[in-house]
């Protein structure tokens, strides 16, 4: 992975979508060359790895073409931070990549970067990767997630044919966090309120108690084959919604392949990767 090219973009503009969601549009009209090497894919959950370069690092002086290996000889405190984000839209004509960032206060790297982003500022990214797109063979679609999955759910809803049937459940802080999503008339979009920012609400409204879990479990199941797409806070998704979908509802892997945590309360992306590795090991042990 370390040899993947890092595409160089710059911030074209930003837009505050809600109090807790900020849109950053990256382009390459100035000194960037991003779209020369960036190739959009057809997954609705297409995602990139944003590379945040430490202050004081002269990117132009690093070995080119730029990859993570280019940073190898720098000291530990100058190593870049890598964060994963959905491509909300890739516009090949305008040579722009749109990313919607959850605003979650001063902690972290990517969230605060997006809040402070100004036009002309460089932005580095790898990818895109992706794995999911709505399957026309499904009889209905179930989407669930929190703010971090709004971009991926929004892109999937837009990609559905006009006659698609489905339900989407999106957990946000409150009514002020809702955004307009384009969905076919047969797909109902339900906004669930947790009553505050996902990292600040007490355990009684998060993790195993996230209101998204009850919303999904209580909804009547529609007839026929479902295709499931669920992402968001990892405890809620991996320890609650995934077992519900796979075991209680008996949806097989082919139709429920896109269920995973996008982030974990109290963990940075680096320590969340460790959490995921431990879960995978425990699951492999349980099924051995
Ligand atoms: C495939 C994929 C696609 C994703 N797409 C998006 C996307 O389009 N938009 C998006 O905003 N996120 C998305 N995420 C989630 C994002 O990668 C994480 O939220 C990431 O941790 C943010 O990095 P950070 O530097 O802001 O915070 P970190 O440094 O990773 O974490 C710092 C602190 O912030 C908390 N935190 C992290 N994320 C959130 C959050 N969403 N809400 C509240 N607290 C949080 C952490 O628990 C930690 O305590 C995606 C993740 C994956 C795996």
109 lines ligand 1 (CB under 6 A): yes
Band (pLDDT 50/70/90 cuts) for residue 31 is confident
- Ligand 1, atom 27: nearest CA belongs to which residue? 108
- pLDDT one-digit tens code per residue, 142-201: 999 999 999 999 999 999 999 999 999 999 999 999 999 999 999 999 999 999 999 999
Asked if residue 263 has its Cβ within 6 Å of ligand 1, the reply is yes
Ligand 1: nearest atom to the Cα of 264? 47
Nearest CA to ligand 1 atom 32: 108
Residue 288: pLDDT band (50, 70, 90) is: confident
Q: What residues contact 173, with CB distance under 8 A and at least 6 apart?
A: 19, 20, 147, 193, 194, 195, 196, 197, 198
Residue 244 phi, psi dihedral angles, 5° rounding: -60, -50
> Ligand 1 test: best mutation among 231, 263, 267, 272, most atoms within 8 Å of CB?
263
- With beta carbons less than 8 A apart as the criterion, state whether 234 and 280 touch: no
Could you tell me the end-to-end alpha-carbon distance of the chain, in angstroms, rounded to an integer?
Answer: 29
The pLDDT of residue 39 is above 60: yes
How much is the mean pLDDT over the chain?
Answer: 96
Is 67 a pocket residue for ligand 1 (Cβ < 6 Å)? no
Q: What is the pLDDT of residue 175?
A: 98
Interval between CA 225 and ligand 1 midpoint (Å): 31
Q: How far is CA 258 from the centre of its chain?
A: 12
Q: Give the model's pLDDT for residue 227.
A: 98
| Confidence band for 102, pLDDT divided at 50, 70 and 90 | very high
**Residue 166: alpha-carbon gap to chain centroid:** 21
Query: Tokens 């994963």 identify what position?
Result: 84
Measured over the CA atoms of residue 212, residue 213, residue 214 and residue 216, the dihedral's sign is positive
What atom in ligand 1 is closest to the CA of residue 261? 53
Instruction: State in Å: Cα 162 to ligand 1 middle.
Output: 32
Mean pLDDT of 65-72: 96
Gap from CA of 73 to ligand 1 centroid (Å): 28
262 lines ligand 1 (CB under 6 A): yes
Question: Is any ligand 1 atom within 6 A of the Cβ of residue 110?
Answer: yes
Tell whether the model's pLDDT for residue 263 goes beyond 60: yes
Nearest-CA residue for atom 37 of ligand 1: 263
> Averaged over 263-273, what is the pLDDT?
96
> Is the CB of 104 inside a 6 Å radius of any atom of ligand 1?
yes
pTM for the structure as a whole: 0.97
Which of the pair, 202 or 33, is modelled with greater confidence? 202
User: What does the pLDDT average to over 127-152?
Assistant: 98
Q: How far is the CA of 228 from the centre of ligand 1 (A)?
A: 22
Angle at 174 between CA 169 and CA 180, to 5 degrees: 60
């Amino acid at each position: 992975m370390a040899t993947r090219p890092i595409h160089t973009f710059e911030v074209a503009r930003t837009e505050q979508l809600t109090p807790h969601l900020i849109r950053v549009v990256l382009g390459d009209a100035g000194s960037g060359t991003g779209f020369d090497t960036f190739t959009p894919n057809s997954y609705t959950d297409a995602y990139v790895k944003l590379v945040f370069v430490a202050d004081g690092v002269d990117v132009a002086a690093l070995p080119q073409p730029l990859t993570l290996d280019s940073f190898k000889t720098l000291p530990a405190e100058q190593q870049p931070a890598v964060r994963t984000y959905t491509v909300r839209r890739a516009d090949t004509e305008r040579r722009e990549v749109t990313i919607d960032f959850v605003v979650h206060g001063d902690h972290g790297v990517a969230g605060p970067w997006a809040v402070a982003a100004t036009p002309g500022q460089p932005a580095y990214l790898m990818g895109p990767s992706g794995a999911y797109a709505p399957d026309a063979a499904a009889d209905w679609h179930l989407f669930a997630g929190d703010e971090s999955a709004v971009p991926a759910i929004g892109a999937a809803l837009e990609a559905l044919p006009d006659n698609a049937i489905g339900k989407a459940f999106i957990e946000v802080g409150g009514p002020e966090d809702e955004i307009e999503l384009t969905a076919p008339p047969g797909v109902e979009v339900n906004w669930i309120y947790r009553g505050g920012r996902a990292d600040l609400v007490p355990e009684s409204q998060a993790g195993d108690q996230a209101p998204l879990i009850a919303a999904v479990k209580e909804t009547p199941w529609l007839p026929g084959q479902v295709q499931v797409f669920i992402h968001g806070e990892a405890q809620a998704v991996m320890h609650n919604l995934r077992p519900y979908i796979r075991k209680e509802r008996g949806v097989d892997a082919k139709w429920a392949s896109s269920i995973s945590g996008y982030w974990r309360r109290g963990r940075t992306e680096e320590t969340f990767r460790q959490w995921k590795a431990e879960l995978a090991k425990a699951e492999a042990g349980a099924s051995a």
